[in-house]
């Protein structure tokens, strides 16, 4: 199936496919290159696997939104965006984004924290806190490097969102105390409760 106008496919264009079209505005890239780019840019807020990338590229090629070039070094085949692909991306990016979808394995564990040994839960929290600290530092370094570059202004805005999000998450982590169990309150609360009885 060939799409004569990118607009005819925008209704079925999913965000992952659209993001690949967005990256291909920079120039032709192989699936491997796109996977690396996704991982180092949008990977922290839009999870995409390598298999998804290759599958979406084939689908985009089938409907005429990208073209595949000749296989080159290391069996990598570059893809380039077509005029229809540019139209489809322009129509997609102008749509209402919709609500955020949040999936956090850690929050799911904390939600059911009453069923987890507290020491084990504390270890989980410590590991994830370190990851968020590292991510925050990474975002700050990137934002500083890109600040002042006119064409990266919107990317910096996205990074600032990430920075403030990570700062908020770290404040949330700081609310946990090894001496206080959310299920029973602080030591002082427990002493007052025993005394009241």
Digit-coded pLDDT (tens) for 116-172: 999 999 999 999 999 999 999 999 999 999 999 999 999 999 999 999 999 999 999
112-116 contacts at long range (C-beta below 8 A, 24 or more positions apart)? 113/182, 113/183, 114/183
In this model, does residue 8 exceed pLDDT 60? no
Q: Which residue has the higher pLDDT, 17 or 1?
A: 17
Q: Which residue has the higher pLDDT, 103 or 8?
A: 103
3-state helix, strand, coil in the chain (%, to 5): 65, 5, 30
In this model, does residue 105 exceed pLDDT 60? yes
- Mean pLDDT for 17-37 is 96
Reported as a pLDDT band with limits 50, 70 and 90, residue 176 is confident
In this model, does residue 190 exceed pLDDT 60? no
Q: Strand pairing of 66-68 and 78-81?
A: antiparallel
In angstroms, the Cα distances linking 173 to 69, 129, 185 are 48, 7, 16
54: burial class by Cβ within 10 Å (0-12, 13-18, 19+)? middle
Strand partners, 67: 80
Residue with tokens 């949008």: 42
Domain 6-93 has CATH 3.40.718.10: no
Question: What's the pTM value of the predicted model, to 2 decimals?
Answer: 0.76
Q: Which of 26-40, 65-79, 180-194 has the lowest mean pLDDT?
A: 180-194
In this model, does residue 197 exceed pLDDT 80? no
Reported as a pLDDT band with limits 50, 70 and 90, residue 181 is low
DSSP assignments along 64-121, one per residue: TSEEE----GGG--EEEE-HHHHHHHHHHHTS---------HHHHHHHTGGGS-HHHH
Element (H, E) at 29: strand 29-30
């Amino acid at each position: 199936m060939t799409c004569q106008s990118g607009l005819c496919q925008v209704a079925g264009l999913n965000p992952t496919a659209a993001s690949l079209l967005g990256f291909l505005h920079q120039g032709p890239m192989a699936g491997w290159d796109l996977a690396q780019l996704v991982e180092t840019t949008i990977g922290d807020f839009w999870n995409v696997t390598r298999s998804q990338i290759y599958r979406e590229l084939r689908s985009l090629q089938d409907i005429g939104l990208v073209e595949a070039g000749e296989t080159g070094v290391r069996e990598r085949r570059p893809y380039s965006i077509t005029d229809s692909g540019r139209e489809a991306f322009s129509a997609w990016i102008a749509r209402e984004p919709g609500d955020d979808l949040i999936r956090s394995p850690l929050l799911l564990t904390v939600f059911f924290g009453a069923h987890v040994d507290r020491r084990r839960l504390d270890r989980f929290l410590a590991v994830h806190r370190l990851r968020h600290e590292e991510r925050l530092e990474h975002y700050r370094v990137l934002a500083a490097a890109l600040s002042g570059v006119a064409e990266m202004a919107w990317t910096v805005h996205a990074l600032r969102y990430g920075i403030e999000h990570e700062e908020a998450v770290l404040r949330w982590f700081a609310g946990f105390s090894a001496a206080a169990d959310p299920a029973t309150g602080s030591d002082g609360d427990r002493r007052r409760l025993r005394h009241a009885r």
